[in-house]
Amino acid sequence: MVGTARRGSGGDGVAGGVGVTALLVAAARALETHRHDSLARDVYAEHFVRAAPASAGWPVRPEQVPDGEACPLWGRFARYFGLRTRVLDDFLLTSMGAGARQVVLLGAGLDARAYRLDWPDGSVVFEIDRDSVLAFKHGVLGGLSATPKATRVPVPVDLREDWVRALLDSGFDRTAPSVWLAEGLLFYLPNAAETYLIDTVDQLTPGGSALAYEVKLEKDLLEYRESPLYAATRTMIGIDLLHLFDKEPRPDSAGHLARKGWDTSVRTPFEFTREHGRGPLPEPNDALEGNRWVFAGKP
């Protein structure tokens, strides 16, 4: 099983049953949605933010941010989440276009991709997260009469429990290609839990499957304590991300997958900023300098 850490699935402070980091990402997606040069649109994100008491007063539109793009949290950091959303959206749709029809969202949080992306016919999206998180999301989306664009299968299980059995019992077909996403999850997991997750995805997937996830290069995280992004997140909305991140040395998951025969690509967010023409670029004492997005395909 994955381990003891919880991120947007709950252990980072709970607001009506949903973790505040999940709400942070939802607020960033709402802001991105309303930017004139938006990279990703999520019309449901602001409703999640407004529905949770802990985040009800957060900005969801650019004009609500006093310092605008100069704000480290709601400017640069939110731009990062917007860029990440777009890049992973593209990865999922491209991978599904190659023939897979199953998607697994690990620690799905407030991800509304089942509702907002144009999935191929016959697609099934499995959302793994705690029951309280999925119930919160279901309640908000139900109040909006939202309709998913794929078959959405909630899998209410804590990643510390037997989520593999829960996934299989929910109808996941391990003999058919699948596409997996662990967005903003592995930072919070112990070394062994990350390795277990990678090994498990490998065991549950045949050729033609794909996986994307986010990691941070090993470094003393305390060096980032006064980085503007983390300092602003801590002082403005009370989320101490460095306290939540696991402090163990990180495994080489991309190398581990490559040794298992997967084709892997490790990219920096800044590469995609340059590709799309907007998003964060490097700066001094940069909390994002160690972030990497890993894309892997199983031949």
Q: What is the mean pLDDT of the chain?
A: 92
Q: How confident is residue 184, by pLDDT bands cut at 50, 70 and 90?
A: very high
33: enclosing H helix or E strand? helix 20-33
In this predicted model, what pLDDT tens digit does every residue of 53-73 receive, in sequence order?
A: 999 999 999 999 999 999 999
Q: Is the per-residue pLDDT at 122 higher than 50?
A: yes
pLDDT, residue 107, reads: 96
pLDDT, residue 7, reads: 44
pLDDT, residue 217, reads: 83
Q: Where are the domains of the chain?
A: 14-297
Q: Could you tell me the two tokens for 37?
A: 């040069």
The CATH number fitting domain 14-297, selected from 3.40.50.150, 3.60.21.10, 3.90.1010.10, 3.30.360.10: 3.40.50.150
Q: How confident is residue 6, by pLDDT bands cut at 50, 70 and 90?
A: very low
pLDDT, residue 10, reads: 37
C-alpha to C-alpha distance for 66 and 251, rounded to whole angstroms: 40
C-alpha to C-alpha distance for 199 and 194, rounded to whole angstroms: 9
What percent of the chain is modeled with pLDDT above 90? 84
In this predicted model, what pLDDT tens digit does every residue of 131-160 receive, in sequence order?
A: 999 999 999 999 999 999 999 999 999 998
Q: How confident is residue 249, by pLDDT bands cut at 50, 70 and 90?
A: confident
Q: Is the per-residue pLDDT at 17 higher than 90?
A: no
In this predicted model, what pLDDT tens digit does every residue of 64-99 receive, in sequence order?
A: 999 999 999 999 999 999 999 999 999 999 999 999
Q: Which of 15, 23, 16, 17 is nearest to 158 (CA)?
A: 17
What is the Rg, in whole angstroms, of the alpha carbon atoms belonging to the chain? 18
What percent of the chain is modeled with pLDDT above 70? 92
Who wins on pLDDT, 245 or 259? 259
Q: Which of 153, 267, 250, 133 is nearest to 192 (CA)?
A: 250
Task: State if pTM tops 0.75.
Answer: yes
Give the pLDDT mean for 182-192: 93
C-alpha to C-alpha distance for 165 and 158, rounded to whole angstroms: 12
Q: How confident is residue 19, by pLDDT bands cut at 50, 70 and 90?
A: confident
C-alpha to C-alpha distance for 178 and 192, rounded to whole angstroms: 24
